[in-house]
């Protein structure tokens, strides 16, 4: 039980950092887009086409939030409080929930394109809908499947 926690602590730290970082990127790009400011060309393209982070202020907030949950958990576990594991568990659940939401939204788009042949979606490809909420959520899914029965809180 204690050995498992070692893995979880590292997981919490990494996920926390990545979620928060990507979340801030998404938040800032989303926010500045609504203000009319845009980042230098190469940076924008890198963010959009390599990291697949669409500008979205609220989506960014959600990512930062999930990241905070993980980091909170890491902080508690690191300082010896075993209850911190709860944050890792809930962090994983939240990332799965939001991943699910965006996957279903993408599915809705798929229906629009292929079933309804909606011209508003001309040139849309499924990659347009890929975003950190989804691919980071996939990482969480792996973690969940591995660990789901190992979230012991009783010492």
Residues of this chain that interact with another protein (CB under 8 A) are 34, 36, 58, 61-62, 65, 68-69, 72, 83, 85-87, 89-91, 93-94, 97-98, 101, 104-105, 107-109, 111-112, 115-116, 118, 151, 153-154
By beta-carbon proximity to another protein, the closer residue of 34 and 125 is 34
The least CB distance from residue 154 to another protein, in Å, is: 7
What 3-state DSSP class applies to 109?
A: helix
Q: How far apart are CA 45 and CA 20, in angstroms?
A: 20
By beta-carbon proximity to another protein, the closer residue of 46 and 107 is 107
Q: How far apart are CA 44 and CA 112, in angstroms?
A: 28
3-state secondary structure 50-105: HCCCCCCHHHHHHHHHHHHHHHHHHHHHHCCCHHHHHHHHHHHHHHHHHHHHHHHH
The least CB distance from residue 78 to another protein, in Å, is: 17
Q: How far apart are CA 114 and CA 45, in angstroms?
A: 28
The least CB distance from residue 40 to another protein, in Å, is: 23
By beta-carbon proximity to another protein, the closer residue of 43 and 118 is 118
Q: How far apart are the first and last CA of the chain?
A: 9
The least CB distance from residue 42 to another protein, in Å, is: 27
By beta-carbon proximity to another protein, the closer residue of 45 and 148 is 148
């Amino acid at each position: 039980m204690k050995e498992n926690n070692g893995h979880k602590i590292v997981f919490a730290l990494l996920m926390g950092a990545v979620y928060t970082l990507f979340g801030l990127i998404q938040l800032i790009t989303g926010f500045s887009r609504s203000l009319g400011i845009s980042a230098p060309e190469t940076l924008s393209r890198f963010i959009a086409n390599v990291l697949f982070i669409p500008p979205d202020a609220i989506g960014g907030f959600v990512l930062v939030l999930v990241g905070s949950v993980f980091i909170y958990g890491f902080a508690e576990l690191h300082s010896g409080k075993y209850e911190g594991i709860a944050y890792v568990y809930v962090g994983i659940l939240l990332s799965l929930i939001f991943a699910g939401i965006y996957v279903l939204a993408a599915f809705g788009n798929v229906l629009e394109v292929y079933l309804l042949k909606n011209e508003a979606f001309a040139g849309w490809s499924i990659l347009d809908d890929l975003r950190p909420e989804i691919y980071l959520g996939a990482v969480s899914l792996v973690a969940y499947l591995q660990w789901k029965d190992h979230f012991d809180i009783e010492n």
